Amino acid sequence: MGILTFENWLQSAPEWIHSIPEWLQNLFFQLYQTFIYQDRWKFFTDGLKITFIVTIGALILGIIIGLIIAIIRTTHDNSKRKPFFLLRFLNWFSNVYLTVIRGTPMMVQLLIMGFVIMVPKSDSGMIVCGIVTLGINSGAYVAEIARSGIMSINIGQTEAGRSLGLSYAQTMWHIIIPQAIKNILPALGNEMITLLKDTSLVSVIALRDVTKQAQNIVSKTYQAYIPYISLALIYLVIVIILTKLLGMLERRLRKSER
């Protein structure tokens, strides 16, 4: 039931198929096997849903973690007096986090999270595991992006906010962070594209993203050419669309600054 032979397909194929070269017949057969037979195109659409869910969830988590780490590090570095113990500890923890996450491969992090720490038992659990792992990984890179954005804001704006009676936290939240986010939006967009491509690694914890679904089709058809080329084209098209959208966003930001 799961394997369709070339001979069986050729018998039921339209007449014009018989008049084309054999290599082209084989190509059409592989396309039929990959997308049409048993509605296998749904494998790709179902996998893309998981890919987008993990990408968006990980990006949100990464931005939250990154902003927190960036604020801790900039507060520690900009402190004019010796930082109090809690801030020194949080800064130490942040540096350890950045060193460990940026110094180990994401696949290894997924394997540890999926088979040692969380060990999910359901599809939803694997999605959460993927989001958490990629979000923690992304947070280490977003932290440096956000830190550079915060540092790009003139220190005088912080002093102005404090002189108006705002606390340090209020100054950061109402004055510094909004400007920093505007400055780092293009870089965050690039991080989203990187995350989208990195979701292909979640297949190692058996999460059925679009990459895993392509592998499932290969296991059914015993033909790797069309499924994997199609997978590459899917990623390429999505990345091109996102790149175009990011370019439009950057142009609008430049216009608003004039």
Residue 205: pLDDT above 80?
A: yes
Q: CA–CA distance from 188 to each of 122, 125, 141, 143, 244 (Å)? A: 31, 26, 10, 11, 14
Listed in sequence order, the residues at least 6 apart from 9 whose beta carbon sits closer than 8 Å to its beta carbon are: 29, 32, 33
Distances (CA, A) of 62 to 128, 133, 138, 189, 228: 14, 10, 5, 12, 29
Q: Say if residue 159's pLDDT is above 90.
A: no
Listed range (10-24, 31-45, 117-131, 214-228) with the worst mean pLDDT = 10-24
pLDDT of 85 reads 85
Q: Quick one: pLDDT band at residue 158, thresholds 50, 70, 90? A: confident
Write the secondary structure of 218-229 as one string of H (helix), E (strand) and C (coil).
Answer: HHHHCCCHHHHH
Q: Is the pLDDT of residue 153 over 80?
A: yes
CA pair distance 40, 32, nearest whole angstrom? 9
Share of the chain above pLDDT 90, in %: 59
pLDDT band at 258 (very low <50, low <70, confident <90, very high): low
pLDDT at 80 over 70: no
When pLDDT is cut at 50, 70 and 90, the band that residue 5 belongs to is: confident
Q: Are 170 and 161 in contact (CB under 8 A)?
A: yes
Tell me: pLDDT of 13 over 80: yes
Q: Rounded mean pLDDT of the chain?
A: 90
Q: Is the pLDDT of residue 165 over 60?
A: yes
Task: Measure the CA–CA gap between 101 and 76, rounded to whole angstroms.
Answer: 21
Q: What is the Cα–Cα distance from 187 to 194, expressed in whole angstroms?
A: 11
What DSSP string runs through 79-141?
-SSPPPHHHHHHHHHHHHHHHHHHHS-HHHHHHHIIIII----SHHHHHHHHHHHHHHHHHHH
Q: What is the mean pLDDT of residues 174-198?
A: 88
Mean pLDDT across 50-66: 95
pLDDT of residue 7: 86
